[in-house]
């Protein structure tokens, strides 16, 4: 049963009347004393007096009404698969989420559904779009722009669902995406579990996501098993994180089981800021996913349809902030000293920028960049050739396909927004078969599907070096997020007319 921690301030006024009269003064025979109003000294944001720890309640939902409070939660409505090949469509149907008996219920049901194929925050989101589909329905609630916080204690009491394919979560995403798209701006997973009770599965997980754009996205976290062999699907337990400047701690039923610090997280969008990306405001999310890449790799594969419907039942969600220092969240930490300090991951070495140039290739690929290819069929051969003269060693690219690209890419994305041009030298040793339709295509990428799009170039005359200078602004206007570039150079002859082309490239740089 939910219980709301309420505080009612009262004003006590004592009035003492001695004697009676006609309203005129009579030397104090009638005395009246009024105690001064009680002074509320609690911090402005607090709904309650601070606890001994210094934390005070600033937001709560006890789910004591008859409906989901739309002033605290909104539903996300989509069939995107959550970026993890999940099987559900998220709806706002009463069958998928409701409040009853002082509890929030989120139910995943086996039923075919359609809906938007983009996430709700996508500029192209259309609530009437039915191009997305799923084989289950469920719900995903969030507090975005209704409840957003930087630092605090975030707590939920809940009973988790079970069965192969069940994936409940209580987590946080950035509200403003200051450092760019996922996971550049971070993700805080307060609680996740998958496939509870399948093969004895009884673990919950607390995790951070950060780093660079895919494939440079990183995560670090810890698993936890409730003492006494208790399974989170058999009863209610309390899950929480305490997040302060430079540190995040995880708790189950008050047991502090893991800590991570800013020494082990980073965003490639701002490697000079040791607190980033966990120094901005985040909001809360409650959802029950079905299937996907992670559950399929734990205990079993696929989804056990017989296990559904499943319910995720939430008693309450509460948010506290530290009155010792609201700005940093520091001074209210609770710990029994017996926890895992997860070291996280060190940030990658940023590209070596020499003066006004970021060198991608100059006789060799410069770290952190390496050469990759993608083809629909056939292959692209890449070699380093020593041609002597002014150029020495150059990259030689032979297209044994009509549909392929070659590119220099790093594991992480970097902020290249202060560069003005992409420059490189290129020589055509052999033209494609159809010389009349021959051309070149350049682009730069900021993590799929973020890209500059195709930037056409004229095919230069064979056997002569040509210098290209492409304005970064043109790439940005075509869609490139220059603040998060992981692929600064992509080249190919025109699509469907590549077979037999041989290109040489050198002196690839981004210049200021």
Nearest to 380 by CA among 355, 397, 357, 402: 397
Residue carrying structure tokens 């989120």 = 106
Q: Which two structure tokens, joined as six digits, stand for 93?
A: 């149907």
Helix (H, G, I), strand (E, B) or coil at 198: helix
Set 76, 192, 201, 244: catalytic member: 192
Cα 248 from Cα 329, distance rounded (Å): 10
The verdict on whether 192 is a catalytic residue reads yes
Set 62, 76, 155, 187: catalytic member: 187
Cα 503 from Cα 491, distance rounded (Å): 10
The verdict on whether 187 is a catalytic residue reads yes
Task: Name residues whose C-beta falls within 8 Å of residue 436's C-beta, 6 or more positions apart in sequence.
Answer: none
Contact call for residues 259 and 224 (beta carbons, < 8 A)? no
Angle made by CA atoms 211, 215, 218, in degrees to the nearest 5:
30
Give the helix/strand (H/E) hosting 474: helix 472-477
| 358-392 per-residue burial string, b: 16 or more CB within 10 A, e: under 16 | bbbbbeebbebbebebebeeeebeeeeeeeeeebe
Cα 449 from Cα 460, distance rounded (Å): 29
Cα distances (angstroms) measured from residue 4 to each of 25, 53, 57, 74, 396: 50, 19, 10, 22, 69
**Residues with catalytic roles:** 187, 192
């Amino acid at each position: 049963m939910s219980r709301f921690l309420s505080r009612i301030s009262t004003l006590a006024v004592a009035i003492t009347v001695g004697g009676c009269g006609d309203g005129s003064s009579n030397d104090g025979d009638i005395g009246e004393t009024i105690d001064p109003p009680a002074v509320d000294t609690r911090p402005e944001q607090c709904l309650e007096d601070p606890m001994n720890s210094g934390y005070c309640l600033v937001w709560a939902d006890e789910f004591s009404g008859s409906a989901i409070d739309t002033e605290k939660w909104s539903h996300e409505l989509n069939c995107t698969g959550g970026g993890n090949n999940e099987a559900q469509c998220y709806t706002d149907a009463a069958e998928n989420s409701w409040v009853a008996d002082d509890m929030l219920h989120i139910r995943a049901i086996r039923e075919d559904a359609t809906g938007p194929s983009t996430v709700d925050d996508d500029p192209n989101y259309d609530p009437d779009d039915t191009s997305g589909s799923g084989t289950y329905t469920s719900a995903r609630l969030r507090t975005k722009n209704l409840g957003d916080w930087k630092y605090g204690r975030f707590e939920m009491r809940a009973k988790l669902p079970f069965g192969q394919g069940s994936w409940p979560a209580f987590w946080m995403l950035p509200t403003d995406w200051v450092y760019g798209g996922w996971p550049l701006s971070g993700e805080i997973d307060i609680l996740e579990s998958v496939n509870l009770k399948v093969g004895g599965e009884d673990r919950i997980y607390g995790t951070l996501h950060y780093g660079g754009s895919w494939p440079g996205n990183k995560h670090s976290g810890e698993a936890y098993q409730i003492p006494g062999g208790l399974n989170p699907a058999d009863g209610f337990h309390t899950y929480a994180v305490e997040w302060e400047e430079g540190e995040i701690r995880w708790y189950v039923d008050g047991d502090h089981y893991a800590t991570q610090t800013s020494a082990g997280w980073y965003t490639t969008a701002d490697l000079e800021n040791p607190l980033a990306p966990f120094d901005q405001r985040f909001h809360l999310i409650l959802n029950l996913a079905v299937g996907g890449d992670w559950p399929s790799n734990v205990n079993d594969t696929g989804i056990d349809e017989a296990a559904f419907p499943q319910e995720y039942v939430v008693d309450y969600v509460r948010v506290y902030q530290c009155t010792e220092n609201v700005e940093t969240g520091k001074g209210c930490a609770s710990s029994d000293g017996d926890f895992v300090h997860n070291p996280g991951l060190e940030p990658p070495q940023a590209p070596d920028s020499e003066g006004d140039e970021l060198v991608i290739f100059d006789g060799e690929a410069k770290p952190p960049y390496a050469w990759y290819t993608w083809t629909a069929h056939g292959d692209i051969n890449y070699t380093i050739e020593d041609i002597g003269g002014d150029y020495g060693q150059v990259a030689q690219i032979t297209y044994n396909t009509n549909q392929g690209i070659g590119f220099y890419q790093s594991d992480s994305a970097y902020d290249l927004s202060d560069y003005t041009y992409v420059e490189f030298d290129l020589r055509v040793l052999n033209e494609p078969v159809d010389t009349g339709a021959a051309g070149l295509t350049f682009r730069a990428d900021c993590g799929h599907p973020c890209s500059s799009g195709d930037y056409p170039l004229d095919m230069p005359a064979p056997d002569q070096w040509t210098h290209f200078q492409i304005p970064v602004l043109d790439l940005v206007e075509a869609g490139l997020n220059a603040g998060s570039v992981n692929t600064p150079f992509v080249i190919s002859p025109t699509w469907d007319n590549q077979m037999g082309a041989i290109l040489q490239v050198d002196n690839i740089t981004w210049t200021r």
